[in-house]
Structure 1
Amino acid sequence: MQTQRAKNCSGLTFIELVIAMAILAILASVVLPLSEVTVTRTKELELRRNLRDIRSAIDAYKLDYDQAVAEKKIFATVGKSGYPEELEKLLEGNDWGGLYPYKKKYLRRIPKDPFDRDDLGWGLRSYIDEVDSTVWGGEDVFDVYSQSEAIALDGTTYRDW
């Protein structure tokens, strides 16, 4: 009777449980670093997209300014480059002296920097600033950059993008 009962009991032995837990621990230790890289890569893609969106909006603003000056809808001012004075100008829009029958807006919202942990916002460069300047001249917004000191997966710093 005893042998019949032992054969009908199905289950795992303690050794089998320990081996299964060891295999799961090894798999988990492999998956966690890969998931961290995936999260970082996703943030990098978002940063590139946000930089491209803002820079494209700045360029479109400048093109409309140049077109309005060329068509004599507005007059060029000495010392003005035609770039927006601040990023919020891209949200407010402009009709460029009648170039458009409405206020043309360039962005719906200003995208966030996914690597900005201290709420510093975007770094700004004006038209007269040096290419790698980290101090904004304040005249206009010619370029934006991330203020993060972190290193990207490709070895560069995010502020150099």
Structure 2
Amino acid sequence: MSPPRSPGFSLVELAISAALLGILASALPPVSEVASRRRAELELRRTLRSVRSAIDLYVEDRARSEPSKPRPALYPRDLDELVAARYLRRVPKDPMTLNADWRLIGTGDPPDPADLSLALVTQAPAEDARVWPTQHPGPPASAGPRGNLFDLRSSSTGIALDGTRYSEW
């Protein structure tokens, strides 16, 4: 008859288990970093969508109440005007920079090269439209919009998980 085994783990089993747990734990930080970036990107998309919807609603409401005004004059001067008119509760923070430092695009600003390249694909452009991006780079991020507020972009210089720049969204 053989001696009974004690009901526990051997030192080898514990060492192997600890090594496996260590390997699995080392994979968690990159996964959590990607998940965190994905959450921030989703929040950026939601924020952009809500602010752009507020701008559109503001313009449509003003067009109904002031039909004789030209369309560019119907846009808000800035984000604070949307807050004052109660189209936004507050000026949102950019989830990528954690500040309210948006790149504002005005009705008088030249087209954004990203938007212009989309226009080149979707419609027949004028002859000189092909050279717009190199001739007219647009205002720097620190400059305010020319004219009334037409759109906004993130001021982040980061690159999204899909390879696009946050500032192009």
Q: Same fold (TM over 0.5)?
A: yes
CA RMSD of aligned residues (A): 2.2
Q: Which has the higher contact order (CA 8 A, sep 6+)?
A: 2
Specify which of 37, 57, 62 is matched with residue 60 of structure 1. 57
Deviation at 1:61, TM superposition (A): 0.9
Specify which of 157, 161, 166 is matched with residue 149 of structure 1. 157
Deviation at 1:29, TM superposition (A): 2.2
Deviation at 1:157, TM superposition (A): 0.6
Give the aligned partner of residue 115 of structure 1: 96
Q: Distance in 2 between matches of 1:51 and 1:155?
A: 18
TM-score, normalised via structure 1 length: 0.77
Q: Distance in 2 between matches of 1:46 and 1:52?
A: 10
Bigger radius of gyration among the two: 1
Q: Distance in 2 between matches of 1:120 and 1:59?
A: 20
Q: Distance in 2 between matches of 1:131 and 1:142?
A: 11
TM-score, normalised via structure 2 length: 0.74
Where 1:12 maps in the other structure, the secondary structure is coil
How many residue pairs are counted as aligned between the two chains? 140
Structure 2, gaps ≥5 residues long: 113-137
2:109 pairs with 1:129: yes
Give the aligned partner of residue 13 of structure 2: 16
Give the aligned partner of residue 101 of structure 1: none
Structure 1, gaps ≥5 residues long: 94-104
